[in-house]
Amino acid sequence: MEIPVLDWQRFTSGNDVEGFVKDLGHACRDTGFFLISGHGISEDLIADVFAKGDEFFALPVAEKSKIDIRNNPHNRGWACQGSEALDETSGLMDRKEAFNVGFDLPADDPRVLAGEPFRGVNIWPEVDGFRDTMLAYYNAILALSVDLHEAFEMDLELPKGYFAPHFTEPMATLRVLSYPAAPDGEGIGAGAHTDYGSVTMLWTDGVGGLQVKPRGKDWIDVPHVPGAFVVNIGDCLMRWSNDIYVSTPHRVLPPKQARRSIAFFLDPNPDSVLSALPGTGEPKYPTVTGADYLRSRLDATYTPKEIQ
């Protein structure tokens, strides 16, 4: 299998730490994709996220438009069909809609009041239980994503805890996605792209369509393994590792039946300074802050609409 399934319990139990890290490191250098089982996140909670997402996406467009993401400078809210083009070269708009949840802060937080980048409040639809469900999942998947960096540290021969200060209050985004059925097979569900952040954790409903394009190879289907997350390295961690890890293009084909997924994108703290990790050689990329890098990528993704 070009995309391996790794049991997280091998690492957390202490029974096979070295073996897990070796397998993880190979995956991060090869396709940049792997699957994680044994993660401990409740599938009941995941089912609740899907259910609340379904309720939201079923709302009238006029209702969802009240919280359009293009009216929010902090990357939160509803992204309608036709608002994104992840593949900047094809000219095709993505056939999907989504809802974004960011790091949750109160309205009176000094950073919110100061209008700091990606330091806004979440905006919520009028769906009973939506906020509580999304935040419960957000907190669970955030903890897992940050813990995974302990294994990255070992593989990259970094000091223990090296990444921890960069993910204390990260620009992490939970994104619930809905792809309508496309029996005509036209267009694209999500255009070919690489992810922006450090790592992405994806849960799907089992409907196919996700493909990855390893270096020098054709597109391959990402397998669906019940109970496992699809994990991939993002551009931020590729830059950080000075290209030791790879961030690989992937896409979602227009599904023949409706498809749903839950993605979690872990970006570092806004003020984290991203430069080549110790021991990785001459830097291949200029130093940049987490906020500046994420903003540059988002600005290229959304179709224009005045930010209010």
Angle of CA points 41, 46, 51, to nearest 5°: 165
Q: Mapping DSSP to helix (H, G, I), strand (E, B) and coil, where does residue 67 land?
A: helix
Q: What is the mean pLDDT of residues 216-245?
A: 96
Query: pLDDT class for 17, splitting at 50, 70, 90?
Result: very high
d(CA 277, CA 198): 13
Q: What is the pLDDT of residue 242?
A: 98
302: buried, middle or exposed (CB in 10 Å: 19+, 13-18, 0-12)?
A: middle
Q: What is the pLDDT of residue 1?
A: 55
Q: What is the mean pLDDT of residues 182-193?
A: 90
Helix, strand, coil tally for the chain in percent (to 5): 30, 20, 50
Query: pLDDT class for 185, splitting at 50, 70, 90?
Result: confident
210 beta partners? 252
- Residue 86's alpha-carbon distances to 30, 119, 213, in angstroms, are 23, 24, 15
Query: pLDDT class for 163, splitting at 50, 70, 90?
Result: very high
Query: pLDDT class for 299, splitting at 50, 70, 90?
Result: confident
174 beta partners? 101, 264
Q: Among candidates 160, 156, 121, 306, which has minimal Cα distance to 238?
A: 156
Note the residue count of the chain.
308
d(CA 274, CA 268): 9
Task: Pick 298 or 100 by higher pLDDT.
Answer: 100
pLDDT exceeds 70 at position 201: yes
Q: What is the mean pLDDT of residues 219-242?
A: 96
pLDDT exceeds 60 at position 296: yes
Quick: pLDDT tens for 98-134: 999 999 999 999 999 998 888 999 999 999 999 999 9
Q: Among candidates 157, 139, 154, 153, which has minimal Cα distance to 198?
A: 153
Domains and CATH numbers, the chain: 5-299 (2.60.120.330)
Quick: pLDDT tens for 59-98: 999 999 999 999 988 889 999 998 888 887 888 899 999 9
Query: pLDDT class for 308, splitting at 50, 70, 90?
Result: very low
pLDDT exceeds 60 at position 217: yes
- Token pair recorded at residue 78: 């509803």
Neighbour-count burial for 212-225, b at 16+ CB within 10 Å, e otherwise: bebeeeeeeebeee
Q: What is the pLDDT of residue 307?
A: 33
Q: What is the pLDDT of residue 84?
A: 84
Contact, 24 vs 155, CB < 8 A?
yes
pLDDT exceeds 60 at position 305: no
7 beta partners? 37
What's the whole-model pTM score?
A: 0.94
Neighbours of 139 (CB within 10 A): 11
DSSP letters for 28-52:
HHHTSEEEEE-----HHHHHHHHHH
